Amino acid sequence: MEMKEYYPRICDRVLQNKLKITGAVLIVGAKWCGKTETALQSANSVLFIQESPQHKETAKIMPSLLLEGETPRLIDEWQDAPEVWDAVRHTVDRRKKPGQFILTGSATPRDEVKAHTGIGRISRILMRPMSLFESQESTGVVSLRDLFDGNHTIEAVSKLEIPQIARLICRGGWPGAVTFPATEGALAREYTDLLVEEDIRRVDGVERNSHRVRLVLHSLARNISTLTTAKTILEDIRANDVTINERTLDSYLNALRRIFVVEDVPAWSPSLRSKTTIRTSDKRQLVDPSIATAIMRVDADRLLHDPESFGFLFESLCTRDMRIYAQVNDGEIFHYRDKDNLEIDLIISLHDGRWAPVEVKLGEHRIDEASESLMKLRNKVDTSRIGEPSFMMVLTGGRYAYKRPDGVLVVPLGCLKD
């Protein structure tokens, strides 16, 4: 197989910036999302922990030996030799220089390791699969940063047609699938099989039933981009596994979070003008929509004949990309729903206080409805306390980016970048 081409990642410049100010940088994220390749672009030496059992033995006896090498030194899959963590902290303290180490990991640290957080010494980057801009399928004409800075004069045309969007959902943002297009959804299915059979067992040493893992993932996939409760998911699974209980389900969900597969969208709680009750449930979401299509064995053709499922999975695709674009702008993604059933799919909230609501609509025929919802939210929030929204957007699977007479921006996902 020929050498893969490296597609530049948004995390590249985030990593470079963090290496200038902290002694070490930890890159975490789902397996196969590109952490190692991104780290290698900045590293001058590398140690692959999984390459040899001797590395793990050395880590137990004298972990500092593993840190010798030209800096920045990459320690790949460090969690397989957790003793490295403290060695990195102590070495950073001793050398008193930035940019000494890059660590990558596809699982969160064990609890006893997290007790020594490394704050001030080890900064953290959460990496996700590739956005459409990173995979070069979005034109990137519309910049999220520019929108927050007040540049709302947008005119652009997306290259993506609806059938292609269905294909991209099933392919996912896995770099291996992007650089070797022939793999298509096969790589997502292989990834899903791997996490069901192996990865979820490795995260904390707890033996988990692979059939049950598959049932949990299948239920999450069926309920993606919804506010489905844990009780409903439990009932769904019990149709095939009557012995599962709430505590067991929590254990499986937590394990999936620790390997960065489940990434629910938290609720946004703004100050409102009225006493409207805000619903605080998380919205069910996976780190990449291809996990859902892979576990359900759904291909692009089936999506095109199932508009409802297509819509939920398109929202999942938009959530993945918007999280990537918001992160580099020092922001996070939330959702909103209140007791009046006013629902806004995505709220972009920057840490400097600026915010913007986004409605996701696969088809362009519901743009008026989405704009109306955005207006209702703006009228409900207490703008004297949280400020006016920087913009209001309908994110679509359509072709054209433009500003409506009411001020709402219509932006195809295939035109957006950070």
* Residues 375 and 386: beta-carbon distance below 8 Å: no
Whether residue 59 is predicted with pLDDT greater than 50 in this model: the reply is: yes
Give pLDDT tens digits for 273-305: 887 888 899 999 999 999 999 999 999 999 999
In one-letter notation, the amino acid at residue 179 is T
Residue-level pLDDT at 107: 77
Per-residue pLDDT of 96-113, as tens digits, reads 999 999 999 887 755 545
Phi, psi (5° rounding) for residue 362?
Answer: -60, -45
**In this predicted structure, what is the pLDDT of residue 381?**
94
What would the pLDDT profile of 213-232 be if each residue is shown by its tens digit? 999 999 999 999 999 999 99
Please state, in angstroms and rounded to a whole number, the distance separating the CA atoms of residues 377 and 357: 8
CB atoms within 10 A of CB 257: 15
Instruction: Identify the residue whose tokens are 């969160």.
Output: 108
Q: What is the pLDDT of residue 1?
A: 35
In Å, what is the CA distance from 121 to each residue of 11, 76, 269? 19, 18, 32
Architecture of domain 10-127: 3-Layer(aba) Sandwich (3.40)
Mean pLDDT of 132-145: 98
pLDDT tens digits, one per residue of 150-185: 999 999 999 999 999 999 999 999 999 998 876 668
Quote the pLDDT of residue 52. Answer: 85
**Could you tell me if 78 and 105 are in contact, meaning their C-beta atoms sit under 8 angstroms apart?**
yes
Domain boundaries, the chain: 10-127, 142-183+259-417
Quick: pLDDT tens for 335-372: 999 999 999 999 999 999 999 999 999 998 999 999 99
Q: What is the mean pLDDT of the chain?
A: 93
Q: What is the mean pLDDT of residues 70-97?
A: 94
Q: Is the pLDDT of residue 203 over 90?
A: no
Are 31 and 191 a contacting pair, CB within 8 Å?
A: yes
Quick one: pLDDT band at residue 119, thresholds 50, 70, 90?
low
Q: What is the predicted pLDDT for the residue at 4?
A: 65
Q: Convert the pLDDT of each residue in 22-55 to its tens digit.
A: 999 999 999 999 999 999 999 999 999 988 889 8
DSSP calls for 122-184: EEEEEE-SPPTTTTT-S---EEHHHHHTT-----EE----HHHHHHHHHH-S-HHHHHSGGGT
